[in-house]
Structure 1
């Protein structure tokens, strides 16, 4: 349990609001919503903020320490509000968080990207606590906003909070992947969960020139970015650039299930694998952290592959790659003090060759950032592009 003393250095809600306004996270036209719709009115009495200094979730109970609870509620920190899809019991953090609320700086940055106008109708995918829907309703009116939530208990809680606050947005318990055709068309659609596939139903349920704002990434790694897609006049596609790196819980129907290691790399597979060496440094491959563009760019170029990094052991770090459509695999082993790393790979595809080629391509393009990449969605799926929809990133597959 944290104490109010530990929270003493955090800015007040008013101070945070001024800070976010000055740095541009809160656009001037959203300042009124920030002031009038506090996040604290939409949070449970027991919550688990993510402590940015320790990297851990802490338990905060309003009944035991109301000052600490209020400080966290008013802070620029993400907050977990449900563990283990509601099966979690007790005040200690559970195993897997299944509902949370993002940092206010990110919430308002995405709302600025959404660019709502008076009279517009908005569909939100993922109600969460109901706070984002309330902010939208404050600008547009409750009747112009509808939000879809897959978790029945979370949906009920959001509806209760919205009604109690006086902004009775319609909360639909259902699968947001299907959208909500009953209230279509929508001028704006915003998803507050991460996706790896964007349903064409969202395009079909949007108005011409409508905006779809969605966190999207590949299965290569956890990295994702918000794509701001503008719907074509004929509503047969939507296209637009990425804006910023983000980190969201994935839509439940798109949660990633890691392939079994032994299904790809059975006993004796390392001895039979093809071997080579690479001069690519570990830092070149991994970038600077989870919000670095490197992994995002590689994922656009290398399809149907996931990768993970082993824990360091005596100066040795192994980065594994697994094919998601077959049993291809690769591993590159970095060792302290060595200029080359050994590579093992096997299967129908040469996954390390693909990753290395994708990295060369990214460097040749002058290491583009998130904002140079974009996405087009139509009935055939998604296509990533660089600088223009006419310049698709394309898929690079090397067969064995």
Structure 2
């Protein structure tokens, strides 16, 4: 599994500091599960029971800790190893702290690695933030006997839970990276699970097979058609969908009825998985962030119009697609700040007294006006927080509000393999 594009970092520089309860794996699991229940990501039932029984240190006996400060080049990581007693307290803090767990550096094999320091290159696979994983596993409604396709094996956490709940004979896990599938097969076997482990294209799934549950653990620009075709009657598919911007994702929830009809919706969500292999991404670099925070801009005005609230996620999901797909929000800013890396335009909006906003705009795009114009359209469409998702006969995919007043096409299929998580 991959981690979030917009998630908190995997831990402070220097690694996590475990509590006394995390001094042994069973206590650490109990603390993690209790925390997930308290935050609402997990409820009593089979997923909770599976996570409480799952020794994550078997699936991830090694993990990286970032030792260099953000932005410092070259980056540096230490690989911690469960077989080294001195590493166990820190490794337990990483595995059960709830944040993403860094498991692969620069596409390396996971089996047979020596602990120690790596520098340069990048982390190429992570296990997802646990709260997101738990909530999506709950959404899947796993039950004994279901046939499950886990697309994006990563460290094997989703596959392990599916094996525990549904039985390993019905579980298939798929990833484009053979180093990940080899390690997952070995470590799942150490847990007593022997699902089918496939190295191949995530976009293609497993041709000729049918599944009751399909879980895509990386973000896509559109739902892979082959996976929809492999969905069995009464089945469910989950996949995060977004544009090149990581700021405002959606969760595609696709079902097939007992008589074979496809039903689907796109829900606005706060967080999503990382982008799949080969998917373009746009980001705010540090220079643009600084300009957005400090420069006077082309003009500044006082406005009685408030920007849409953070809780208006249905608006921001529509903005991700209908405002050109080139906008990125700076979530580190105290107030609303949005930039367009492609052309250098930006805006910031700060409250100044009762129902007044100071709005500053810079660049060829008037992002503030674009937002307000779309906000009017969104409200006219009854302020949806989710959209119907249509699969056209020609292969196109379209999202639309219930009333039909707000809609957009998802990007056409690219002639490349999106594969599974990097």
Q: Identify the TM-score tier after normalising by the shorter chain.
A: 0.7 to 0.9
1-side partners of 2:178 and 2:346: how far apart?
44
Mapping for residues 141-290 of structure 1, pairs under 5 Å: 141-182=167-208, 184-232=209-257, 235=260, 237-242=262-267, 244-256=269-281, 284=307
2-side partners of 1:308 and 1:22: how far apart?
29
1-side partners of 2:226 and 2:301: how far apart?
44
CA shift in 2, pair 1:278/1:59, >3 Å: farther
- Pick from 355, 360, 373: which aligns with 1:341? 360
CA shift in 2, pair 1:57/1:383, >3 Å: farther
CA shift in 2, pair 1:34/1:46, >3 Å: closer
CA shift in 2, pair 1:311/1:122, >3 Å: closer
- Per the normalisation by structure 2, the TM-score is 0.71
1-side partners of 2:47 and 2:358: how far apart?
51
Whether the 8 Å CA contact 2:98–2:129 is kept in 1: the answer is yes
Structure 1 residue matching 2:270: 3-state secondary structure:
strand
1:155 CA drift (Å)? 1.5
Deviations 1:256-300 (A, max 9, x none): 3679xxxxxxxxxxxxxxx88776699837x659x9665323114
CA shift in 2, pair 1:200/1:303, >3 Å: farther
Mapping for residues 46-57 of structure 1, pairs under 5 Å: 46-48=63-65
1-side partners of 2:105 and 2:280: how far apart?
15
Deviations 1:123-162 (A, max 9, x none): 1110001121011011111110101101121111111111
Whether the 8 Å CA contact 2:76–2:119 is kept in 1: the answer is yes
Whether the 8 Å CA contact 2:18–2:92 is kept in 1: the answer is no
Structure 2 residue matching 1:15: 3-state secondary structure:
helix
1-side partners of 2:344 and 2:372: how far apart?
12
Whether the 8 Å CA contact 1:119–1:144 is kept in 2: the answer is yes
Whether the 8 Å CA contact 1:60–1:68 is kept in 2: the answer is no
Matched with 1:129 is 155
2-side partners of 1:299 and 1:36: how far apart?
39
The answer to which structure, 1 or 2, has the higher relative contact order (CA under 8 A, 6+ apart) is: 2
1-side partners of 2:247 and 2:359: how far apart?
27
Q: Which ranges of structure 1 fall in alignment gaps of 5 or more residues?
A: 51-55, 260-274, 324-328
2-side partners of 1:172 and 1:149: how far apart?
7
2-side partners of 1:311 and 1:246: how far apart?
15
CA shift in 2, pair 1:220/1:102, >3 Å: closer
Of 13-22 and 337-346, deviating more is: 337-346
CA shift in 2, pair 1:132/1:382, >3 Å: same
Whether the 8 Å CA contact 2:246–2:282 is kept in 1: the answer is no
Matched with 1:326 is none
Matched with 2:18 is 7
1:112 CA drift (Å)? 0.9
CA shift in 2, pair 1:87/1:310, >3 Å: farther
1:107 CA drift (Å)? 1.4
1-side partners of 2:359 and 2:93: how far apart?
49
Matched with 1:82 is 104
- Per the normalisation by structure 1, the TM-score is 0.74
Whether the 8 Å CA contact 1:278–1:343 is kept in 2: the answer is no
Structure 1 residue matching 2:34: 3-state secondary structure:
helix
CA shift in 2, pair 1:201/1:392, >3 Å: farther
Matched with 1:72 is 94
1-side partners of 2:167 and 2:76: how far apart?
35
